[in-house]
Structure 1
């Protein structure tokens, strides 16, 4: 792999049960394992799955018309079984509306195809989850 294919984030512990992820551009996202308002890692996974397809669908449809409403809901069941803890029944639901008129009609017509194309080919996040990519963990001294 070359440097242009590598993606990375750094995660720093900021307090008990609290962490900050920083990307190479300096963006930061706080998350945690406690019951506060921070996202949990599982919620970040759901957000990444939905967000990836949302971006693809938004780009494809907003070329024709700006949406008047755009909501993506991602759900799943967290289970523990013989395979360990994991998510099942992942579902991404789009609720999108466009103004009446020719441009809105085009955007409405494109939306299902844009969502399907993202899911089937473009969204790196959901493609990685569905295909199943091994994850390695190491501890450095």
Structure 2
């Protein structure tokens, strides 16, 4: 694998149940495992997973349709059910729903026409996040100096 293929984030604890993830470019996102009001507006790790799934495919679809027309509305909803069973805690029934409309016009007609295919191609081949979830890529966990 090349250095260009490597992706990484560093996660630092900022308080009990509160964390900040920082990417290689210095961007940050806060998240929390705290409950109720202690969480504030922070995302949970599961919400970050849902956002990553939806965001990845949204970016693919926007790139394909946006070159033809600017959408009047572009919204992606991602839902799933958190369960705990013999396999442990996990999400099931993951669903990504696109709500996209375009104004009238020739470019918009083309964007509307390619929208279903763009969604399918993103899901089937392009979206690294959902492809990784669906293929069941193993995760290795280690402890430094252990």
TM-score by length of 2: 0.95
Q: How many residues align?
A: 141
Map 1:30-49; keep pairs closer than 5 Å.
30-34=30-34, 35=36, 36=39, 37-49=41-53
1:15 aligns to 2:19 (yes or no): no
1:76 aligns to 2:80 (yes or no): yes
Partner deviation per Cα, 1:93-112 (whole Å, 9 max, x = no partner): 00000001211111011111
Match of 2:4 in 1: 4
Map 1:85-104; keep pairs closer than 5 Å.
85-104=89-108
Structure 2 CA distance for aligned equivalents of residues 26 and 133 of structure 1: 27
Where 1:76 maps in the other structure, the secondary structure is strand
Structure 1 CA distance for aligned equivalents of residues 5 and 71 of structure 2: 32
Give the superposed CA RMSD.
0.7
Give the Å deviation of 1:129: 0.2
Partner deviation per Cα, 1:41-87 (whole Å, 9 max, x = no partner): 00000000000000000010010000000000000000000000000
TM-score by length of 1: 0.98
Which of the residues 66, 72, 82 maps onto 2:70?
Answer: 66
Where 1:139 maps in the other structure, the secondary structure is coil
Runs of 4+ in structure 1 over 2 Å off:
none
Structure 1 CA distance for aligned equivalents of residues 13 and 116 of structure 2: 40
Structure 1 CA distance for aligned equivalents of residues 88 and 115 of structure 2: 36
User: Unaligned stretches of 5+ in structure 2?
Assistant: none
Structure 1 CA distance for aligned equivalents of residues 106 and 7 of structure 2: 40
